[in-house]
Structure 1
Amino acid sequence: MIMLSTRSRYGTRLLMSLARHRGDSPVQIADIARNQGISAKYLEQIALALKKAGLVETVRGRGGGHRLAKDPEEITLDEVVAVLEGGRGLVRCLAQPRSCARASRCAPRLVWEEISQAIFDRLSLWTLGDLLRMEDRLMNRATEPQEEQPPTFYCPSLPRSLM
C-alpha cells in the first residue's frame, strides 16, 4: 500500500486551518494542534517546513502566530505533498539516481517514475481553496437529510473530462 505520511496529512490540515482564518489575526500552532488533535511539537516541525517553502509565514510578538503566505487558490496539493514528503518521487532513486547502482538499467524505476508523475499531475489539479469548498459542502451535507445517492465532488480546477 502506498501511503502519504502524517506530515502531508497533518500539513494539509494545518494549511486548511490557516486558510479558514485568512484575514484574521495570525493563528497559534497550539490552537490548531488542540482543535485537530495533533501534537503541537510535531505541527511546529511541519509548519517550519511549510515556512521554508514559502507557504506559511510567521508573525512574531504579541498577537503573533502563523498565517498563509499565499492565497489558498495558489497553493496546490502537489506543492504541499512534495514539500512534506521530500520530493515528487515514490522511490528515492528518482531524485537521487546515484543512490542506487542499478538506476540506469532498472525497468521498475521507469514505472515508478511514470506513476509518480501521474500522481503529482493529478495533485496539481487541486488547490487548498478547492479543499475548503469541498469541506464546506461536506459540513453542509452532514446537517442535511441523507440522500440515497453516493456523494460526488466537483473540483473547479479539474478539467471536465476528468470528472
Structure 2
Amino acid sequence: MASESDRQMAALRDTQTRLLQLLEGMAYCLDWKPDPSEWSARQIIYHLLDTPAGGLASVVKGMISGNVTEYDLWADMDNMTPERQTHDLEGVLREINGFFSTMEEALGAADGPDLSMVRAVVHNKTRGTDDERTVIEILHRGLCGHWAGHLDQLQGLRESLGV
C-alpha cells in the first residue's frame, strides 16, 4: 500500500509532467496575453512557483523540518521581477525543475512525520483570515486545486495561440 508521501509524490510528478507538456512549443510566446487584463504564461508560472512567498516547496520543506509553523499568503500576485522577465524558456524551465526538485526532496524526507499531523497557520492577507492547515491539506489545495486551475489556464492560452 502506498504511503501518503508516495501519493503526494505521484501527484507532484503528474503536475510537473503536465506543466512541462503545456510549455512545449511556447518559447516564442511566454509573454503573450489574449487580453491586457489576463496573465501571460510567464506570469502564471511565476505566480505558481512563488505563491506563497518563497514558494510552496520551501513552505512544505520548512513544515516537515519543523522550521515553518506559520506563513503569509497573498493571493493574485504574479511575482514578476525584472530578472524573471528576461528569462528565456530554458531559464524558466530551470526554475520550474528547481521547484519540483525541492518539493521531491521535502517529500522524500517525510518518512518520519505523519504529513496529516504536521501543521502551520496560514495568514491569508488578501482575505484577512488565519487558518491552520496540514501539509496534506496544503499539498492537496496547492497541487489539485490552485495549480490545476492555473494549468487549465495555460491550456487555454495554448488553445488561443493554436499551439
Measured against the shorter chain, the TM-score band is under 0.3
Relative CO higher for 1 or 2, CA cutoff 8 Å, sep ≥ 6? 2
Larger gyration radius, structure 1 or structure 2: 1
- TM norm structure 2: 0.25
Structure 1 length-normalised TM = 0.25
